[in-house]
Chain A
């Protein structure tokens, strides 16, 4: 990356259970950076260190060695001020719906902004804003979060972090366990939010299909190292490598490659049904046209 990243890890090593027989390095000498103002999809197999990275980025975990920088400045420079970093970097954990606790939806979303010491009017504005992006109807503001379905609780939890308006928002598998429509709504809402706020978003995901559609750049991790970085086109071009790090290309991408192998001259690098549809129509039309010209 040529530009200074918005947030970065520099030579970070993180060990769990230091001083016990279970001491284990989750990350070893990792250096990576996330560009500002875009959505980056952070992908890697289970155990590749993605969730550890998420917690390092907002200062929940402190690197054993190395440093985490925002705008080039070490967030642990003054450890007493790490609390302020957590307002700048919002973190939505996996399955955040288990973390709701307030008596109403509105109060739950307002919890973060209220802790930031904002006035009531601003809190109210942010709650409404965050609810809009996550598809929460103001009609359910007064309800107890525990009356909601799992999918609705997820939205409330995400809204609660969005309402803090962080410069950087890290979401760990925000769509895990949701049905296809729910996935599209949550990820679409996050994208709309990013496009309006122009902030920096990092989405941790296993789903190549989802990230091809919603992220601007993809970063593939393998054992805590960046094995690929680029847009979907660049990353999906390296099929074998993705397979070796526990990821797989979308079914449609594989299908197009198989079709090509079978002798239908479609171009590779397709990762959505829409693109595949257009590509198939294109080669069929081409052959029809060519066929007419060559006909005796």
Chain B
């Protein structure tokens, strides 16, 4: 049965500027996130997507609206500190810069930090740490010091630290931004695996269109509002609207869109993947003169 892990209704949030005047960042957002889904969130810098992530993780409190996370109404007056900690454990968050996320001097101790604070049994911690290290392909670095690792390796350790807390949902706030292409691919495979194999709900905030394409659903946030929301095919068909919002579409999608709209090629509305575009263009090419 379909169940929503996150339900937001008319969510509003403002920062205050120096004079105390409100700067609205999240404006009347209404959306649901289905448990077990893989959702990409796109938006230009300053669009409000990171603020949204912090609201969902209760780092920030909404000014108004309704927000239910994991069945708990977070706007409730009598929300206890324990409720908040419990929710934060269930909604893990991985940030952009891994240097701000590692706390221990040894990789495996860093990963154990979360479970230790939850009062988990030592054997279980050991099992979780090994499992988390394997999940991010960092087992051989278990005894290393984080400062000896490159940015990409540190990021994988940060992800492992969240995995070890066995969250229901992980929010990745541009967690791939600092990685090289192969590192990115590894982290994306990890994220996809966590979602498909462990059923962890994934919210993936990114600027990389090729990553967004891998999700079940893409939400585009612009000026604190939802601009587009749907399957990757549906969202990336709005090439001009995405460009106007400071975003882009995958290169193959851009090419086929241009061939269709400017050169009149008889192509499908949206082609996201190379293989599909090759097939479509090849078919058109073979028709010429035949």
**Which residues of chain A have a CB within 8 Å of any CB of chain B?**
16-17, 22, 24, 44-47, 94-95, 144, 147, 149-151, 173, 176-182, 206, 208-209, 246-248, 250-252, 254-255, 258-259, 262-264, 273, 276-277, 280-281, 283-284, 287-288, 290-292, 294-295
B30 interface contact, C-beta 8 A: no
Cα separation A95 to B98 with both chains bound (whole Å): 12
Nearest CB to that of A151 among chain B residues? B45
Question: Which of B44, B96, B185, B251 interacts with A251 by CB under 8 Å?
Answer: B251
Cα separation A276 to B257 with both chains bound (whole Å): 12
Q: Are B278 and A258 in contact (CB under 8 A)?
A: yes
Q: Are B288 and A259 in contact (CB under 8 A)?
A: no
Cα separation A2 to B209 with both chains bound (whole Å): 40
Q: Are A180 and B180 in contact (CB under 8 A)?
A: no
Q: Are A147 and B180 in contact (CB under 8 A)?
A: no
Smallest CB separation, A14 vs chain B (Å): 14
Residues 274-290 of chain B: 1 if any A CB is under 8 Å from the residue's CB, otherwise 0? Answer: 11011101101100111
Question: Which of A176, A209, A264, A273 interacts with B177 by CB under 8 Å?
Answer: A176
Smallest CB separation, A135 vs chain B (Å): 13
Nearest CB to that of A259 among chain B residues? B278
Q: Which chain B residues border A182 with CB–CB below 8 Å?
A: 44-45, 246
Q: Are A277 and B97 in contact (CB under 8 A)?
A: no
Q: Are A255 and B289 in contact (CB under 8 A)?
A: no
B134 interface contact, C-beta 8 A: no
Among B1-9, B67-75, B145-153, which stretch is in contact with chain A? B145-153
B80 interface contact, C-beta 8 A: no
B65 interface contact, C-beta 8 A: no
Cα separation A209 to B44 with both chains bound (whole Å): 19
Question: Which of A177, A252, A276, A295 interacts with B207 by CB under 8 Å?
Answer: A177
Cα separation A151 to B44 with both chains bound (whole Å): 10
Nearest CB to that of B251 among chain A residues? A252
B188 interface contact, C-beta 8 A: no
Q: Which chain B residues border A288 with CB–CB below 8 Å?
A: 288-289
Q: Are B247 and A246 in contact (CB under 8 A)?
A: no
Residues A177 and B180 in contact in the complex (CB < 8 Å), given A255-B274, A273-B251, A287-B289: no
Smallest CB separation, B187 vs chain A (Å): 11
Q: List 16 A-B contacts (CB under 8 A).
A: A22-B148, A47-B152, A94-B178, A173-B178, A177-B96, A178-B45, A179-B44, A180-B247, A247-B180, A248-B181, A248-B182, A248-B185, A252-B255, A280-B259, A280-B281, A294-B289
Q: Are A16 and B278 in contact (CB under 8 A)?
A: no
Q: Are A276 and B263 in contact (CB under 8 A)?
A: no
Q: Which chain B residues border A254 with CB–CB below 8 Å?
A: 274
Q: Which chain A residues border B275 with CB–CB below 8 Å?
A: 258
Smallest CB separation, B192 vs chain A (Å): 17
